[in-house]
Amino acid sequence: MSLTMALTIGILFGAGTYLVLERTLTRIALGLGLWSYGANLLIVISGGRAGAPPILDPDAPATHFADPLPQAMVLTSIVITFGITAFLLALAYRSMTLTGDDMAEDDIEDRRIAGLWQAEREEEAAEETEEETGEVGGEEWEGGER
């Protein structure tokens, strides 16, 4: 593996990571695309040095050819990546028609679970203040908070 190739793959992954950590589905799709380029290159290049295309010539020795196995794996990978990217784009399109943009919103169920804990903490804080001051009535708190 040459240093140039390793660095290129690293840059592709880095750029992809930055994009994937976005909320815009388009950028996430592009980030995934960069990741898959990097991964495909990594697999093919891990298959050894460059060689002749694996179109067999019975006279040549096996070492003459590039390793065909990573190539077959990556061919599959390209096709699948394409299917996934297209699907993501369709999702972005659907999201667009529903919400007006293609942002990945927070999961509502997850936020509710997180809220459960928040609510409990607030309740406790309310109780503590109540105990400390002894004057702030529970009703007032409940009325104010809910």
Partner 1 sequence: MTTLLAAYLAATVLVPLIARRLGREIFLAAATLPAVTLAWAFARAPEILAGSTAAETIDWVPELGLEIALRVDAFSLLMTILVAGMGTLIFLYSRWYFDDGPDLGRLAGPLIAFAGAMFGIVIADNLLALYVFWELTSITSYLLIGFDDRSAEARAAALRALLVTVAGGLAMLAGFILIGESAGTYSLTGVLANPPTGMSVEIGLLLVLFGAFTKSAQAPFHFWLPGAMAAPTPISAYLHSATMVKAGIYLIARLAPVFATLHFWRPLLVGVGLATMLIGGWNALRQRDLKLLLAHGTTSQLGLMTALFGTGIAAATLAGSILIVAHAAFKGALFMVVGIIDHQAGTRDIDRLDGLYRKLPGTFIATVLAVASMAGLPPLLGFIAKEAALEGFLEMIGIGWGRIALAVLVIGSALTFAYSLRFLWGAFAPKRADELVADFTGSETMRPEVGFLAPAAVLALLSLAFGIMPGTVNALVVGSARALVPGPTPRRLALWHGLTPALLLSVAAILGGLLLWQLRREVARFQERRRFAWDAEMVYDQTVETVLRFANVVTGRLQTGSLPMYLAVILGTVVAIPGSTMIRRLDWWPVILLIDRPTQGVIALFMALAAILTVLTRRRMSAVVATSVVGYGVAFLFVVQGAPDLALTQLLFETLLLVLFVLILRHLPISFPGRGGRWWRIVRGGLAAAVGSFITLAALYAGSARGTAPPVSVEYLRRAIPEGEGRNVVNLILVDFRAFDTFGEIVVLTAAALGIMGLVRAARRGRGEMGESRTMLTFRPSTILDAAARIVFHTVLLYSIILLTVGHDHPGGGFIGGLVAGAAFILIYLAGGTPWMRRVEPAPPELLLGTGLTLAAVVGATGWLRGSDFLEATSSTLLIPGVGTIDFRSVFLFDLGVYLVVLGLVIALLGSAGQEEVRQP
**Residue 4 φ/ψ region, left for φ over 0, alpha for ψ in the -120 to 50 degree band, beta for the rest:** alpha
x/- mask, partner 1, residues 16-35, rule CB under 8 A, reads: xxxxxxxxx-xx--x--xx-
The verdict on 129 binding partner 1 (CB under 8 A) reads no
x/- mask, partner 1, residues 70-99, rule CB under 8 A, reads: -xx-xxx-xxx-xxxxxx-xxxxxx-xxx-
The verdict on 109 binding partner 1 (CB under 8 A) reads yes
The nearer residue to partner 1, 113 or 134, going by C-beta atoms, is: 113
3-state SS, residue 103 = strand
The verdict on 132 binding partner 1 (CB under 8 A) reads no
The verdict on 45 binding partner 1 (CB under 8 A) reads yes
Rounded to the nearest 10 degrees, the angle between the axes of helix 25-46 and helix 68-99 is 180
29 neighbors 89 (Cβ within 8 angstroms): yes
| Alpha-carbon gap, residue 47 to 101, rounded angstroms | 42
106, 122, 140, 142: which one binds partner 1 (CB under 8 A): 106
CB of 122 to partner 1, least distance (A): 12
The verdict on 49 binding partner 1 (CB under 8 A) reads yes
32 neighbors 82 (Cβ within 8 angstroms): no
CB of 140 to partner 1, least distance (A): 26
Which residues are registered as beta bridge partners of 103?
24
